[in-house]
């Protein structure tokens, strides 16, 4: 099984250059970064639960998450300005490719009733956003004592100008996107 980085350089670049009539390999769209977000939601007042969310996110991504404070106070959500309401990790380089390998090859196939990533998850700028309901699908969580199950959002940011180019790139890299129609 080859990694996403190898698949990109050996398969995706030549195929996309031929299909889109690009002259340089540098003109081929590529993945710039992967952003993983977790909102603490109702457990934000439970300090130990929030710490486990932070710890598990660090295990999953291999990088320390940065806390995300609320920008404004919203009374109906019982939040105050500056209160920590979530965590974010931005992955680039080798950590990004390692995370995507684990996401595509191990985590997504373990999702219950998975039928492919819907094409509506791909925006017009060529970025793919995947919502994951349970973090326990990642292989790092198998041996962990998991009490609180939380969801996370994974955004794969590409530098493609068109949605079609991004779709072709992600399909060539092995993302399980649904068929058209």
Per-residue model confidence as pLDDT tens digits over 139-152: 777 666 677 788 88
The pLDDT assigned to 89 comes to 93
Q: Which domains does the chain have, with CATH numbers?
A: 4-173 (3.30.1440.10)
Note whether 104 and 176 are within 8 A (CB): yes
Of 72-76, 107-111, 143-147, 173-177, which range is least confident?
Answer: 143-147
Taking 80 as the threshold, does the pLDDT of residue 62 lie above it? yes
Contacts of residue 60, defined as CB under 8 A and 6 or more positions apart, other chains included, come to 36, 99, 135, 138, 140, 141, 152
The pLDDT assigned to 1 comes to 63
Taking 90 as the threshold, does the pLDDT of residue 35 lie above it? yes
Residue-wise pLDDT tens digits, 110-128: 777 778 888 888 888 889 9
% pLDDT > 90, the chain: 13
Q: Which of 170, 175, 173, 167 is nearest to 4 (CA)?
A: 173
Q: Average of pLDDT values for 147-166? A: 86
Q: Average of pLDDT values for 170-176? A: 87
Note whether 60 and 96 are within 8 A (CB): no
The pLDDT assigned to 36 comes to 92
């Amino acid at each position: 099984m080859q990694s996403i980085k190898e698949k990109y350089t050996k398969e995706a670049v030549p195929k996309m250059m031929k299909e889109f009539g690009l002259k340089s390999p540098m003109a081929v769209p590529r993945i710039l970064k992967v952003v993983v977000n977790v909102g603490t939601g109702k457990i934000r007042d439970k300090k130990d639960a929030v710490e486990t969310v932070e710890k598990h996110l660090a295990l999953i991504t291999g990088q320390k998450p940065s806390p995300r404070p609320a920008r404004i106070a919203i009374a109906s959500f019982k939040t105050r300005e500056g209160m920590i309401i979530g965590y974010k990790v931005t992955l680039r380089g080798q950590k990004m490719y390692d995370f995507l390998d684990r996401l595509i090859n191990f985590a997504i196939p373990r999702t219950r009733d998975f039928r492919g990533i819907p094409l509506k998850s791909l925006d017009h700028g060529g970025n793919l956003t995947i919502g994951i309901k349970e973090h326990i699908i990642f292989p790092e969580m198998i041996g962990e004592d998991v009490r609180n199950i939380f969801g996370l959002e994974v955004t794969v940011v590409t530098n493609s100008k068109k949605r079609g180019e991004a779709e072709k790139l992600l399909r060539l890299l092995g993302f399980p996107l649904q068929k058209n129609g």
